[in-house]
A and B are shown apart, each in its own frame.
Chain A
Amino acid sequence: MEELLRMEHITKKFGDVYANRNINLDVRKGEVHTLLGENGAGKSTLMNVLFGLYQPTEGTIYLHGKPVRIESPAQAVKLGIGMVHQHFMLVEAMTVFENIILGDRNTKGIFINHDARKKEILELSERYGLDVELDKPITDIAVGAQQRVEILKALYRGADLLVLDEPSAALTDQEVEGLFDIMHKLTSEGKSIIFISHKMREVLHISDRITILRAGETVCTLNRGDTTGEELANLMIGRELTPSHYEKIENPGEAVVALENVDYDKNSKHNGLNGVTLTVGRGEIVGIAGVDGNGQSQLAQVVTGVLTPDAGRVDLKGSHVAQFTPNGFILESVSHIPEDRNKMGLIGNMSVRDNIVLKSTDTPQFSAAHGLFLKKKAIRDYALKMQEKYDIRCSSIDQEARNLSGGNQQKIILARELEGKPDLLVAVHPTRGLDIGATRFVHDTMIEARDRGCGVLLISADFDEILEVSDRIVVMFEGQVMGVFSGKNPPIADISLAMAGK
């Protein structure tokens, strides 16, 4: 097949950090070429270079065999490159039609010729099976439809090469099927697609060729037929992945936290607790399984002191809790990995360094006179130590936390919550949105805390994760505990029934 695009020796540096280093990629006409890599492997950076949003520090891009300099998105569009960003570039206040014609330079006149433009768009949408409602505002259509608008937008501008940046991340399974149909249609019409993903199943399903990136560099390019999911996973994270080999504990120590008949807003099926009795012992991981929104969130907030239960008794390390305040629980060495790391776990506009010490600024280690004067040097040294210990990848510890990838943000939280050697760790969806390597790191860290004698309450909607690390599995349904199961050789059928409320 004819070559459409070749990127040679692309390097992009941000400060001293290499986001891309000597990357090579070639895309043929009519193929789906997947870029596979962990979060932060440099996929998005490479695509932003291709689209003219970033200028490469070194390297050359060839289109149809000729070297080109892409200095702006406008130029990329002119060269026939269309990009569907992971976060859609749609103006919400405008209609589908307005979004598609936005920035149009190909037609004459100063006024918008609605009829003519609509006819053109409808022709395109029929040809590629991109079904959209032109007169609806963007806010009124589903995510899948918004994605179709993005693809249509690129095609309307004459794109021959489409970049789809993690297009399936926000879609339902059905919508993903629809997307794949569209991708087939596009390639059969001679368009080329660069598909970015880290979902193995999808990659093996849709790709013609796969290029693997790791830590900003190209590992290799493979044909789909010549590889397996296992090989890809290993190449992607750069080491062998072994299935769950955590040793399960059966005799935990004394209870760190004990709940007895705890109620919270008990008439609410999805956001309440109804007579919950539960203990977490020293040195065990209790996994709360259940479909999201059956009171797990409230349970986590009760055992971290955010919510005060309506009825029932909570004992922390053997003593009755009278007052529920987050600070009271922190003083009792309870750590919390909250469900939404951006809203509850981190202060995005503050630096990595400040986020790491956020909880301990009153301690003599970091300040004089209970937080009145901060010991800048001690904080800095400590943050540098944590950056190394938890492998937090950032350009410097002064970088704002919001600019880090999800995995690295979670590592900041782990560093802050686990370094104080807590007696109880409450981890809520600790690996949501993380890639394989980062997930593994989080699991290892939790097991380590357990082996040190910490009690861990793990709440997760990912059943595999629960099975992987839990010593005991508690199933919740509509605010009630439906059953407690052993984590060693767990009875999967019984657990599934309990999760369905039976």
Chain B
Amino acid sequence: MISEVLLSTVRMATPLIFLALAELYSQRAGLVHIGLEGLAAIGSLVGFLVSLITGSPMLGVVAGAAAGILTNMIFAYATITLCAEQIVYGMAINIFAPALAAFIYRVYFGAGSELVQVGLMSTLSQSLGIQSDNFIVQLFLDQTPMVYLAYILVIVTVIYFNRTKSGLNYKAVGEYPKAAATLGINVIGVKYVASILCGALAGMGGAYLTTCYANTYVDGNVAGRGFIALAAVIFGRWTGGGVLLACLFFGFCDALQIRLQVGSFGIPYQFFQMIPYVATIVVLALLGMKKAGPKGVGKAYLPEER
């Protein structure tokens, strides 16, 4: 049973990792993005459609990323170029994008049609033709390429922010954009790059849900993961490694609630469903007081401000 929960943890944590990395890249450039939920929703639908049409879940993920980037350009243009309030536009993305996804779904399939199903991305062991009930083999090989990609991205992120010149400059934009500008760093450029990365990662996180996790699209399938990812970034103290641990923790909570639902004796399953969300609230309440994020987050950058 424990091995089952752990396997499930990995599956549940993966979309969170993509979404949390999206948030991390956005916040490190000073853009707080509460619209991940919306980006993931559009990524999830586009990923589903493309994977259905082309028969390739891989292409679905790429398309999901592209959809995430496109949608996030609305946020980027409004908050970076027009210096609009980031929270307001994040919320706007949250309202607009899932509705757009639902709309496209209904236009494409017609109202009231039955659930369309799509083939999922094959796992590494399936591709290699290995069949085993061994827990270790299952944990390391019985995963989709998206899972490996998520962990590779975490490692790349850690190296990027801690070891490279470019990563240092990137962080400076989120901390103190004016100082970065006086050192010749292109603040606006970095913020747009951040928005592209954020859109792509959030779109991929969404696409994971319809190409690797469930074989169909339903409205609301992101189910608050965008907000949990936001919490994971705070919980993870704005570092790649911390974010990974936070996502695994939240993924574990999710896996646990699914397992407990199965074995529940008369307790309404909704109580178990609450676990990941309650865990989020508890964690934020414990950590929320010590704000340690990038100092320039949430503020617009105006080059000629007096």
Contact = CB atoms under 8 A, between A and B. Distances in A.
Interface of A: 14, 51, 53-54, 72-75, 77-78, 83, 85, 89-94, 98, 101-105, 107, 109-112, 153, 403
Interface string B141-179: 000000000000000000000011110110110011011
B165 A53 contact: no
Contact of A110 (B166, B175, B182, B303): B166
B172 A102 contact: yes
Contacts of A51: 182
B179 A110 contact: no
Given A74-B184, A91-B179, A93-B295, 5 more contacts: A53-B182, A73-B181, A83-B182, A102-B183, A103-B185
Given A54-B304, A91-B176, A101 B182 contact: no
Q: Which of A72, A89, A105 has its CB near the most chain B CB atoms (within 10 A)?
A: A89
B123 to A, nearest CB: 33
Contacts of A91: 171-172, 175-176, 179-180
A98 B182 contact: no
Interface in B247-306: 294-295, 303-304, 306
Contact of A112 (B163, B179, B185, B304): B163
B14 to A, nearest CB: 28
Interface residues of B, number: 23
11 contacts: A77-B183, A78-B184, A91-B175, A91-B176, A101-B165, A103-B169, A103-B185, A107-B165, A110-B164, A110-B165, A112-B163
A102 B168 contact: yes
B304 A94 contact: no
A110 B165 CA distance: 6
Q: Which of A14, A89, A91, A104 has its CB near the most chain B CB atoms (within 10 A)?
A: A91
A112 B166 CA distance: 9
A135 to B, nearest CB: 14
A103 B184 contact: yes
A94 B164 CA distance: 14
Contacts of B294: 93
A90 B179 contact: yes
B181 A101 contact: no
Contacts of A53: 181-182, 303-304
A170 B1 CA distance: 63
Contacts of B306: 14, 403
A53 B182 CA distance: 8
Contacts of B178: 89
Given A92-B295, A93-B294, A112 B184 contact: no
A77 B184 contact: yes
B172 A94 contact: yes
Contact of A111 (B164, B182, B184, B303): B164
A434 to B, nearest CB: 19
B183 A112 contact: no
A311 B68 CA distance: 66
Majority secondary structure of chain A interface residues (helix, strand, loop or mixed): loop
A72 B165 contact: no
A77 B185 CA distance: 12
Contacts, number: 77
Contacts of B295: 92-93
B171 to A, nearest CB: 7
A153 B182 CA distance: 11
B179 A89 contact: yes
B182 A94 contact: no
Closest 10 A-B residue pairs measured CB to CB?
A: A74-B184, A103-B183, A89-B179, A91-B175, A73-B182, A103-B185, A91-B176, A110-B164, A89-B182, A103-B184
Interface in B100-140: none
Contact of B168 (A77, A83, A112): A112
Given A102-B168, A112-B163, A112-B168, A92 B175 contact: yes
Interface in B182-220: 182-185
Contacts of A403: 306
Contacts of A112: 163-165, 168
Nearest to B182: A73
Given A14-B306, A103-B185, A93 B165 contact: no
Contacts of B166: 110
Contacts of A90: 176, 179
B179 A111 contact: no
Contacts of B165: 101, 104, 107, 109-112
B168 A101 contact: yes
A180 to B, nearest CB: 25
Given A54-B304, A110-B165, A94 B175 contact: yes
A76 to B, nearest CB: 9
Contacts of A92: 175-176, 295
A111 B168 CA distance: 10
Contacts of B304: 53-54
A14 B304 CA distance: 10
Contacts of A89: 176, 178-179, 182-183
Nearest to A74: B184
A27 B83 CA distance: 38
Nearest to B306: A403
B39 to A, nearest CB: 27
Contacts of B185: 74, 102-103
Contact of A93 (B169, B175, B181, B303): B175
Contact of B182 (A85, A107, A109): A85
A103 B172 contact: yes
A102 B169 contact: yes
A441 to B, nearest CB: 23
A90 B303 CA distance: 17
A72 B303 CA distance: 10
B171 A94 contact: yes
B305 to A, nearest CB: 9
Contacts of B184: 72-75, 77-78, 103, 105
A100 to B, nearest CB: 10
Contacts of B171: 91, 93-94
Nearest to A44: B306
A105 B169 CA distance: 11
A101 B164 CA distance: 11
Contacts of A110: 164-166
Contacts of A109: 165
B285 to A, nearest CB: 24
Contacts of A105: 184
A85 B178 CA distance: 11
Contacts of A107: 165
A75 B183 CA distance: 10
A445 to B, nearest CB: 26
A73 B186 CA distance: 10
A111 B163 contact: yes
Nearest to B294: A93
